[in-house]
Homo-oligomer: A and B are copies of this chain.
Amino acid sequence: MLVIGNELLTGKVCEANLVVLAKSLRKLGILLRRVVMVRDDVDTIAREVRELSGTHDWLFTSGGVGPTHDDVTIEAVAQAFGVSVVMSPEMKGMLEAHYRERLTPGHLRMALIPEGGVLETTSEVPWPTVRVANTWIMPGVPQVFEMKIQVIEAKIGADQAFVSHAVYTKMDEGDLKPLLDRIVLAFPTIEVGSYPKWSDPTYQTKLTFDGLDPALVARARDAFIASLPPGEPQRVE
């Protein structure tokens, strides 16, 4: 994922799209490996798009689409793929139908796409989401990002979702370490996470067990639970 926007790097706005994409990709069985966040700079974004799209199956950008001077993602993606920016007749038509006599050249900039870009739509989300090869160009506004995530879910993904279980204990990580090490060793394909919580009276550390094989994930979780001392766990999910 490439997140774009000065407002995020200056702390004016709290980034909200990553967790939405991350959850969706889990359902689609796609491993999110890397997120990069950069400022609204064409060359910087273009370099990142080239690098990330070239080294991953999919790239999702967030932000920098719109008509103003600080919206440079379309131009940057075009630069990354070595193509021009062109006006999509289809999107131009939709803007004309929407704005009618109020349409300005500023509005029309929202119909610009990298040449060769595919307009992805679903019946629920008719305003196109632009995809260039493996790179999905998503908007930064959280309400729109969340709406458009449906398009990604409809178009890509594997047949198998990631499965996750959680176990909550009142033990601290120092005491849990030897127990966790045994599970990590016994279940090399299961991802085991350990997350201390401050100031929650119901538990101190949450342990998570993730993988693609539901039965194996459950076995890893149960092997861990069996190794706990009396009185534990506090709860299981």
| Chain A residues at the B interface, C-beta cutoff of 8 Å | 3, 6-15, 18-26, 32-39, 66-71, 99, 104-110, 141, 143-144, 162, 164, 172-178, 180-181, 184, 191-196, 198-199, 208, 210
Contacts and interface: CB of A to CB of B under 8 A. Distances in A.
B173 A106 contact: yes
Contacts of A6: 191, 193, 210
Contacts of A33: 9, 38-39
A78 to B, nearest CB: 19
A10 B32 contact: yes
Nearest to A207: B68
Contacts of A13: 195
B38 A34 contact: yes
A15 B12 contact: no
Contacts of A181: 69
A7 B162 CA distance: 13
B32 A34 contact: no
A162 B194 contact: no
Given A7-B195, A69-B184, A71-B194, 4 more contacts: A12-B164, A15-B18, A35-B37, A69-B194
Across the A-B interface, give the 6 residue pairs with the lowest CB-CB distance, nearest first: A11-B22, A106-B174, A107-B174, A11-B23, A106-B177, A35-B37
B194 A66 contact: yes
A109 B177 contact: yes
B69 A192 contact: yes
A198 B37 contact: no
Contacts of A10: 22, 26, 32, 162, 164, 210
B180 A68 contact: yes
Interface centre among A20, A173, A181 (most CB of B within 10 A): A173
A76 to B, nearest CB: 15
A174 B3 CA distance: 23
A173 B68 contact: yes
